């Protein structure tokens, strides 16, 4: 018993000595202090430490930190929901998904992916400062996986600028900001791995001309910006290639040139229609004749009083027995081979209304060329 009391006295003495000599916060505890006749210590307020960058000034790391700080507020988180009804007709609103986006201009337009808002009945845009806005859908274009939302509010962050030059060089350093798996405003870095990639898209059309990057892109990053070292948008992150569903170092972004062409039309009209040649085509019929060995885009009809009509182009004819006799078939545009209707649409999509293009046609085994102006789609 004496040994136990001695040990307890030694522990108390050490505790009091450490508490007084070393200034340990909270020692002795209030209950012990009262029994010993000591004054209980005042609670210690936590000290907020300033955020300090350890990156050397002028280093790549310091530049990345500065870029993120400058661009972060212009990137938004998007959550969508859909109306649902049960077997008894009772309605409910269910969460649909999440994605990313970025401010396009000072009018509150937000750019994202079409698949982020596809099927949604409502969308909420959340800013980095925590403010949330109900967004309206302005327009969507599945063929390029781009969509525009709009929010209304005061003191919105500055928009991000598009890179004005052509596509970035392979090896260019890029950064992605987004909300993967709901982890808001996540920054990842990488390089441009390749250009002009194609992946399967909506409506049976491929997404073409994409930027490939090894910057980590995951579910939730969709619609967020891919930035260059100057903080300009070089692409809109849209998809990943991954057997597991997570980042495998192969991500894809819609290039800035496509964004610059499509987004203004979505804002202006709510949809995007590529230029036309004054010719009409049928996707299913064209796919069928391609499977039968025809190479190119088979003209179905020629618009009356168009340049194509004046040039003597002819559409396909259907015989009484149901067989189709091709008229003119587009096999190249500006020297670029056209094997399918998708090839033709991609070639026209990369050009602007008013341009004149050289179209190579084939009819009855003979080839010829004609100059045709690009007309507004409708």
156 occurs within a structural domain: no
Query: For the chain, how many structural domains are there in total?
Result: 4
Residue 245 pLDDT: 59
Please indicate, yes or no, whether residues 284 and 364 belong to a single structural domain of this protein: yes
Question: Residue 370: what are its φ and ψ, rounded to 5°?
Answer: -145, 145
**DSSP H/E element including 344:** helix 341-349
Please indicate, yes or no, whether residues 367 and 335 belong to a single structural domain of this protein: yes
The length of the chain is: 378
pLDDT less than 50: residues of the chain: 1-26, 47-49
Please indicate, yes or no, whether residues 286 and 332 belong to a single structural domain of this protein: yes
250 occurs within a structural domain: yes
Please indicate, yes or no, whether residues 283 and 232 belong to a single structural domain of this protein: no
42 occurs within a structural domain: no
66 occurs within a structural domain: no
Residue 244 pLDDT: 61
189 occurs within a structural domain: yes
d(CA 276, CA 355): 11
Residue 87 pLDDT: 65
Please indicate, yes or no, whether residues 249 and 284 belong to a single structural domain of this protein: no
Residues spanned by the domain of 297: 279-373
158 occurs within a structural domain: no
41 occurs within a structural domain: no
Residue 129 pLDDT: 94
- Six token digits for residue 102: 């970025």
135, 150, 165 - which closes a domain: 150
d(CA 188, CA 176): 5
Q: What is the pLDDT of residues 367-377, one digit of tens each?
A: 999 999 998 87
212, 229, 259 - which closes a domain: 259
Q: What is the pLDDT of residues 265-315, one digit of tens each?
A: 999 999 998 889 999 999 888 888 899 899 999 999 999 988 999 999 999
Please indicate, yes or no, whether residues 332 and 363 belong to a single structural domain of this protein: yes
Residues that are catalytic? 115, 145, 222
């Amino acid at each position: 018993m004496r040994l136990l009391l001695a040990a307890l006295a030694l522990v108390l003495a050490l505790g009091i000595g450490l508490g007084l000599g070393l200034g340990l916060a909270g020692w002795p505890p209030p209950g012990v202090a009262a029994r010993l006749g000591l004054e209980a210590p005042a609670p210690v307020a936590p000290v907020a430490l300033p955020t300090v960058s350890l990156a050397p000034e002028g280093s790549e790391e310091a530049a990345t930190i500065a870029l993120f700080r400058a661009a972060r507020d212009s990137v938004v988180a998007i959550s969508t929901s859909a109306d649902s009804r049960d077997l008894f007709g009772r309605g409910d609103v269910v969460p649909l998904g999440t994605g990313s986006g970025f401010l396009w201009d000072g009018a509150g337009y937000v750019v994202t992916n079409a698949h982020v808002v596809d099927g949604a009945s409502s969308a909420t845009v959340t800013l980095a400062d925590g403010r949330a806005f109900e967004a309206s859908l302005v327009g969507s274009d599945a063929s390029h996986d781009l969509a525009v939302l709009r929010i209304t509010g005061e003191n919105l962050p500055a928009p991000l600028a598009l890179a004005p030059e052509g596509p970035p060089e392979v090896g260019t350093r890029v950064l992605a900001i987004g909300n993967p798996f709901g982890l808001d405003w996540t920054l990842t870095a990488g390089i441009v791995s390749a250009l002009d990639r194609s992946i399967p898209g909506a409506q049976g059309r491929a997404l073409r001309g994409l930027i490939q990057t090894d910057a980590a892109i995951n579910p939730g990053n969709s619609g967020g910006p891919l930035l260059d070292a100057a903080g300009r948008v070089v692409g809109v992150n849209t998809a990943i290639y991954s057997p597991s569903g997570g980042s495998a170092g192969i991500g894809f972004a819609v290039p800035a040139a496509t964004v610059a062409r499509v987004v203004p039309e979505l804002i202006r009209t709510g949809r995007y229609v590529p230029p036309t040649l004054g010719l009409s085509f049928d996707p299913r019929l064209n796919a069928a004749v391609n499977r039968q060995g025809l190479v190119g885009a088979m003209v179905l009809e020629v618009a009356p009083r168009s340049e194509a009509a004046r040039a003597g182009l002819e559409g396909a004819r259907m015989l009484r027995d149901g067989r189709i006799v091709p008229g003119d078939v587009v096999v190249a545009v500006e020297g670029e081979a056209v094997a399918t209707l998708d090839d033709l649409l991609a070639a026209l999509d990369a050009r602007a209304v008013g341009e004149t293009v050289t179209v190579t046609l084939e009819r009855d085994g003979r080839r010829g060329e004609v100059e045709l102006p690009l007309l507004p789609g409708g």
